[in-house]
Amino acid sequence: MDVPILSLLILIPLVGALVTLFMGGERAGKAKFVAAVFSAITLVLAVYVMTVDDLSTLTENYTWIQVGALTMNIIFAIDGLSILMVFLTALLVLLAVVFSWGEEDRPNYYHALLLAMEVGLMGVYMAQDYFLFYIMWEVTLIPMYFMISWYGGPRRHYSAIKFFIYTHVASVIMLIGIFALVFSTTYGDFSFAAVSAAAAGAPLSEAMQTFIFGLLFFGFAVKMPVPPFHTWLPDAHVEAPTAGSVLLAGVMLKMGSYGIIRVCLDDNIFNLAMANWQMVIVVLGVIAMVYGAYACIAQNDLKKMVAYSSISHMGLVLVGIGCMSVIGTEFAIFQMFAHGIISGVLFMVCGFAGHSFGTRDMRLLGGLAGKFPMFALFMMFSFMASLGLPGLMGFVAEFGLLYGFWEFLSANGLEVLIVFGPLYMMLTAGYYLWAMQKTLFGKLTDKIDLEHSHDLAKYEVVAIAVLCVFMAVFGIMPSIATDFIMPYAGIIGGLF
C-alpha cells in the first residue's frame, strides 16, 4: 500500500497543532516538546521527498466537491518549483520551535499557531487545484494574525489588523481572478491541469488574459510585497514575535512569488498577457529592490531595517521572474530559497537583541561584539550572507539574477539600466556594514543597562547555527538546490 506522503506533510502538523492547543494548565510547559516532535517528523518526511527520483509518483488526488460541472478536488503534487519551499517550511518551523524554547506565555497556543501556519504553507506549495490553493492561502493568514495580535509588541493589534486587511483583500481579488479564469476555460473544473489544458485548446482573448493576469498578479504582488502595497510588512515584522517574523519572511512572503511563477507564467493560459505585463513586472521589481534598500538606510530599529531588506530582496526575485528566461526563473526560485534561510537568521538575531538588550535601536547600541561574541558572530555572518558575500548562498542567488537581468536588458536594448544592479548592491552593503558598525564595534554602549543581558542561549545557538551551515553549504555547492530547480525552470523558461 502506497503511503500518502504529501497528505502526511499536512496532516502531521495539523494533528500536532490540535494536540498542542489542548495542552493547557500544568501540561502547557510540555507543549514545546510535542511541537518539536511533530515538526521534526514533518521535516524528516520533507527530506525523504527530496530523495525520491521521480517526484511525479507522489501525486495524490482525492475527490472533494463534484456538483454538476463544478469540480474541486484535493490534489497534491511536488515539482522543482515547490520542493525547496516544502523543505524550507518544514525546516524553519522546527527551528522556530527550537528558538522559542524559552517561551512561557501560553506556550501551548504559541506552538499550536506555528504548526497551524505549517499546515497552510504546505498546502499552498503542494496544491494543484485552484480552490484548494486559495483555501490553503487563507489558512496561513489566521494563525499569523493571532501570532502577531497575541504575542507581538506594543502596537501588535494595529499591526495584526493591518496585516490581515492588506493580505486578505489582496487574496479576495486573487480569488476573483481564479473564478474568472476557471469559468472562462473549464467552466467549473478547478484543477491546475484541467485549466491549463482547456486554455491551450481554446485560448482566451488577449484582453481577457491581460485582465485575469492583472487580478492574479495583484494578489500575489501584495503578498511579496511589492511597493506601493508593502506598508503592512514593516509593521507586521516589527511587532511580531521572533518565530512569527522568521516564518513570515522565510516562507510566507514566498507565497507571492511562488504564485506568480506557478500561475501567471503558465504559457498555455497567459501566452499573450505575459508580453503585456513583462515590463511592468520588471519595473516594479527594480523599484522594490532599490527602494527597499534605500529605506533600510533610514532605519534605526534593527528589525525594521531587516524588514525593509526583505522588500528589497524580494524585488530582486520579481526582476528575475520578469526576465521570463531560464536563468531568470532558475535564480528567482533559488533566491526565494536563499532568502528564506538567510532571513531566518536575520530575524532570530534581531529578535534576540530586543529580548536581551531591551532595545533594537542602533542609536543606543554599540561595542557589543566584545561582551556578546556569539550574537556578534551570527549577526555578522547573516549580514554578510544577505549582502552577497562570495562563498555564501546569497551571492549565488544575486549573481545569477543580475546576470539574467543583464540578458533581458541586452535583448531589449536597455543596457544602461543595469546601473540599478550595482546601485542595489552598494546600498545593501552600505546599510548592513553601517548597522554592524553602530551595533557591534566601537566603545561599549553606556546608554542602556547591559548588566543583566546575556549572550545567546544554547538552544538559540543551535537554531541559528543550523541555518548558517546551510548558508555556507548552498553557497559552496549551489547545485544541491539548482539540480532540483533546473528541470522545472528549463521547461518554464523555454516557453518564453
Q: Which residues contact 191 (CB under 8 A, 6 or more apart)?
A: 71, 73, 75, 128, 129, 130
Alpha-carbon gap, residue 125 to 475, rounded angstroms: 24
Residue 492 has pLDDT above 80, yes or no: no
Residue 447 has a CB neighbour count (10 Å cut-off) of 11
Report how far apart, in Å, the C-alpha atoms of 264 and of each of 102, 306, 495 are. Answer: 42, 29, 13
Give tens-digit pLDDT for 83-121: 999 999 999 999 999 999 988 889 999 999 999 999 999
Res. 126: pLDDT tops 90: yes
Q: Which helix (H) or strand (E) holds 110?
A: helix 107-126
Q: What is the pLDDT of residue 77?
A: 95
pLDDT (tens digit per residue) in 324-343: 999 999 999 999 999 999 99
Closest alpha carbon to 109 in 214, 244, 218, 263 = 244
Q: Which three cell numbers stand for residue 273?
A: 498577457
Share the mean pLDDT of the chain.
93
Q: What is the pLDDT of residues 290-318, one digit of tens each?
A: 999 999 999 999 999 999 999 999 999 99
Residue 496 clears pLDDT 60, i.e. is over it: no
Tens of pLDDT, residues 460-490: 999 999 999 999 999 999 999 999 998 888 7
Q: CA dist 18 to 22, 45, 439, Å? A: 7, 20, 41
Nearest to 229 by CA among 297, 287, 150: 287
For residue 495, pLDDT over 80 is answered with no
> Phi-psi bin for 111: left (phi > 0), alpha (psi -120 to 50), beta?
alpha
pLDDT of residue 395: 95
Q: Which three cell numbers stand for residue 55?
A: 517526484
pLDDT at residue 1 in the model: 45
pLDDT digits (tens, 9 = 90+) for 331-385: 999 999 999 999 999 999 999 999 999 899 999 999 999 999 999 999 999 999 9
What would the mean pLDDT of 34-54 be, rounded to a whole number? Answer: 95
pLDDT at residue 321 in the model: 95
SS3 272: coil
Percent of the chain with pLDDT over 70: 99
Rounded mean pLDDT, 398-418: 94
Per the DSSP assignment, residues forming a β-bridge with 71 are 66, 189
pTM: 0.95
Half-sphere exposure in the Cβ direction for 376 (13 Å, CA):
17
Residue 3 — pLDDT band, cuts 50, 70, 90?
confident
Each residue's pLDDT tens digit, 148-183 = 999 988 899 999 999 999 999 999 999 999 999 999
